[in-house]
């Protein structure tokens, strides 16, 4: 029988959080068993190759490179050597109803073009002035968050100490904030389009969600050379094989407990992994509702599971195509006014008038065969209460309507490869609880996220349902922080 000395630590999930946690624990002397329900590693930073096209399996770009770089440094890895980044020089353009096109880059170089492509000087000056003022007033908040708060174990008092001065301005809604800096309704529409990724209308988001635009202004958006999977590959390559063993294609059936502490992980194939410590990176909702004995769930975790809102669902549509002259930006939005953009988060029944998509091959042409492109878009799923309520027929109709919308704007588009992932796929293939793309909804208060320390002896939580939520850089940090919490608790435990 294994002794307490050689009983392994079990890490559940081989996404970025699980890889970072496994590496941290292994270097601290733990023997780690890494359990992954899928057949590969990397989670949101992995890829699938189909017909010569390289499709992302999740994250589309790196938004906060300094935080990711710092995370790699904490892991003892040379980020610049392992994951060279390529700046997205033309990150976003938004097309408005009157033909205006707003190009967002940074505060000094963003511009507005008219229906015939000519630059609109006055609108450009108003846009740049608003972006400069926004960056001047909110830049300090962004920098404190990235450099002082997120790399530390989540703490209310630590956050208040660094951000208390800014709390009054952080309590507003983001649509009101945008109106303050951009009086022109067209510019409001373009700026609020930077929030489409949240799946939530601007009038329902807190002002703090402007942090996504601040990331663009402060650091720009980037892609790793070779695609987003380079991040997961870099972490996986540095797992020491002498300390880390893996179980691929194995879901966790349950977590067993004895004397108020974890004692084993049971896999769906029947294997029982005896352990004293578990670090799980899967959804906290899944842990509370499906994996733990219900009579053992702490009240604090149960409250979070019942109170926190799930993020949005979507149908992911990825196209490998040719014969199309695409706009020369990474992200392209066709949007109505800010107050009407909520319709872009609702399931459609006819061809949508508005859409948003990205073109990773504008930055990394090697992701597709010569002369061909990749288009990625997320079609909203809002008409069901659970992932199981979404049917294959709904997926077929949704894909048809959104592809028709693309063909309407790009008549020469020839689709050579198509990859679709609907809510059922996100549940059973990507292993996302209820198909919620980000786990906890953007804008959720920090105390509604799951903590790293679960309140159960030996059980630690990481991943996108722990603060601060979804994101490439934050996923790495959640794994590091949860692992450090485990290490600290082990060191504090009195020896017998």
Q: Dump pLDDT digits (tens) for 237-259.
A: 999 999 999 999 999 999 999 99
Q: Cis ω on the peptide bond leading into residue 468 (within 30° of 0)?
A: yes
Q: Note whether 260 and 457 are within 8 A (CB).
A: yes
Q: Is 350 left (phi over 0), alpha (psi -120 to 50) or beta?
A: beta
Q: What are the domain boundaries of the chain?
A: 9-46+62-84+227-309+446-492, 92-219, 312-437
Work out the pLDDT band at 420, boundaries 50, 70, 90.
Answer: very high
Burial (CB count within 10 angstroms: exposed 0-12, middle 13-18, buried 19+), residue 392: exposed
Work out the pLDDT band at 1, boundaries 50, 70, 90.
Answer: very low
H or E stretch covering 399: helix 392-409
3 state SS of 279? strand
Q: Concatenate the DSSP letters of all residues of 462-496 into one string.
A: -STTBTT-S-HHHHHHHHHHHHHHHHHHHHHSPP-
Looking at the predicted structure, is the pLDDT value of residue 117 above 80?
A: no
| Nearest C-alpha neighbor of 104 from the set 88, 90, 114 | 90
Looking at the predicted structure, is the pLDDT value of residue 6 above 70?
A: yes
Work out the pLDDT band at 322, boundaries 50, 70, 90.
Answer: very high
Write down the pLDDT at residue 495.
Answer: 53
Q: pLDDT (tens digit, 9 = 90+) per residue, 57-113?
A: 999 999 999 999 999 999 999 999 999 999 999 999 999 999 999 999 999 999 999
Q: Concatenate the DSSP letters of all residues of 341-378 into one string.
A: GGGGGS--SS--S-EEEE-GGGT-GGGSSTT-EEEEEE
Work out the pLDDT band at 4, boundaries 50, 70, 90.
Answer: low
Q: pLDDT (tens digit, 9 = 90+) per residue, 344-373?
A: 999 999 999 999 999 999 999 999 999 999
Write down the pLDDT at residue 494.
Answer: 59
- State the average pLDDT over residues 377-394: 97
Share of the chain above pLDDT 70, in %: 98
Tokens standing for 290?
């499906």
- State the average pLDDT over residues 331-338: 99
Q: Note whether 354 and 193 are within 8 A (CB).
A: no
Q: What is the pTM of this model?
A: 0.96
Write down the pLDDT at residue 171.
Answer: 82
3 state SS of 15? strand
* DSSP conformational letter for 113: E
Q: What is the CATH superfamily name and number for domain 9-46+62-84+227-309+446-492?
A: FAD/NAD(P)-binding domain (3.50.50.60)
Distance CA 199, CA 195 (A): 8
Average pLDDT of the chain is 95
How many CB atoms lie under 10 A from the CB of residue 395? 20
**Pairing assessment for the beta strands 32-36 and 9-12 based on DSSP bridges:** parallel
């Amino acid at each position: 029988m294994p002794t307490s000395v050689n009983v392994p630590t079990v890490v559940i999930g081989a996404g970025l959080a699980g890889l970072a946690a496994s590496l941290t624990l292994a270097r601290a002397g733990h023997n780690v068993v890494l359990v992954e329900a899928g057949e590969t590693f990397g989670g949101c930073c992995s890829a699938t190759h189909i017909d010569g096209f390289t499709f992302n399996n999740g994250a589309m770009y790196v938004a906060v490179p300094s935080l990711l770089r710092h995370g790699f440094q904490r892991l003892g890895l040379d980020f610049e050597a392992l994951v060279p980044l390529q700046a997205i020089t033309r990150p976003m353009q938004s097309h408005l109803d009157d033909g205006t096109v707003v190009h967002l880059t940074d505060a000094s170089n963003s511009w507005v073009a008219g229906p015939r492509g000519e630059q609109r000087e006055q609108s450009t000056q108003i846009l740049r002035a608003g972006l400069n003022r926004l960056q001047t007033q909110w830049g300090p908040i962004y920098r404190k968050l990235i450099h002082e708060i997120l790399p530390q174990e989540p703490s209310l008092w630590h956050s208040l100490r660094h951000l208390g001065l800014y709390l009054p301005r952080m309590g507003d809604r983001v649509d009101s904030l945008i109106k303050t800096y951009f009086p022109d309704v067209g510019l409001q529409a373009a700026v609020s389009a930077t929030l489409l990724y949240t799946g939530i209308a601007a009038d329902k988001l807190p002002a703090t969600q402007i942090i996504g635009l601040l990331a663009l202004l402060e650091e720009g958006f980037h892609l790793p050379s070779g695609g987003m999977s380079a991040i997961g590959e870099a972490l996986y390559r540095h797992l020491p094989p002498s300390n880390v063993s893996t179980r691929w294609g194995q879901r966790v059936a349950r977590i067993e407990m004895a004397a108020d502490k974890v004692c084993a992980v049971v896999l769906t194939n029947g294997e029982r992994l005896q352990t004293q410590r578990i670090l799980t990176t899967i959804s906290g909702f899944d842990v509370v509702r499906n994996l733990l004995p219900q009579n053992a769930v702490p009240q604090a975790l149960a409250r979070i599971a019942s109170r926190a809102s799930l993020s949005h669902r979507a149908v992911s549509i990825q196209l490998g195509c040719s014969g199309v002259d695409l706009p020369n930006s990474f992200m392209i939005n066709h949007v109505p006014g800010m107050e009407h953009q909520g319709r872009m988060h609702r399931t459609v029944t006819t061809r949508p008038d508005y859409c948003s998509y990205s073109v990773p091959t504008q930055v990394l042409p090697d992701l597709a065969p010569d002369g061909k492109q990749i288009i990625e878009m997320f079609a909203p799923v809002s008409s069901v209460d659970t992932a199981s309520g979404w049917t294959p027929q709904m997926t077929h109709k949704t894909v048809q309507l959104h592809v028709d919308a693309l063909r309407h704007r790009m008549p020469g588009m020839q689709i050579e490869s198509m990859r679709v992932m609907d809510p059922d796929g996100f549940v059973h293939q990507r292993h996302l609880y209820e198909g919620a793309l980000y786990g906890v909804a953007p804008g959720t208060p920090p105390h509604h996220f799951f903590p790293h320390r679960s309140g159960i002896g030996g059980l630690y939580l990481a991943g996108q349902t722990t603060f601060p939520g979804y994101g490439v850089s934050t996923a790495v940090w959640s794994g590091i922080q949860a692992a450090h919490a485990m290490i600290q608790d082990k060191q504090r435990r009195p020896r017998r």
